[in-house]
Amino acid sequence: MPCEAWCRLVARYRSAVNAYNQAANDLNLLPGPDFSEAWYRAERARAFAIDTRSDLLLHEHDHDCFQVGQHNGNRRMSGIETENMVLGDQGQSGG
């Protein structure tokens, strides 16, 4: 079962992805010199989304909150896939 820290990281990542999506959508609305500022905001939002995703994946790697025991003593992943949980079936996970 995921831990509280993982849940907070997922919420942070989801928020960052939503902010990036909004910033990217704003690019369609602003012509001329305002576009440059909108582009800068979108790039900052993209970089933040990448950082929050990295934090989340690092936590998953370092913290065994997704490991569940088996009867034979071996460990396996719980079957949760973070990208699908955060992004849904939007084709954004690159796979």
pLDDT of residue 89: 45
Q: How many CA atoms lie within 13 A of 62 on its CB side?
A: 8
pLDDT of residue 91: 47
In a domain, 69, yes or no: yes
Cα–Cα distances in angstroms (integers) from residue 40 to residues 14, 15, 18, 32, 57, in the given order: 20, 18, 16, 14, 26
In a domain, 65, yes or no: yes
CA angle 43, 41, 27 (to 5 degrees): 90
pTM reported for the whole predicted model: 0.68
Q: Tokens representing 94?
A: 């690159």
Q: Write out the chain's pLDDT in tens, 95 residues.
A: 678 888 999 999 999 999 999 999 989 887 788 888 899 999 999 999 999 999 998 998 888 776 655 444 444 445 455 555 555 544 454 54
pLDDT of residue 88: 52
Contact 56, 80 (CB under 8 A): no
Domain residue limits at 45: 4-16+33-87
Report how many domains make up the chain: 1
In a domain, 82, yes or no: yes
pLDDT of residue 84: 55
pLDDT of residue 66: 65
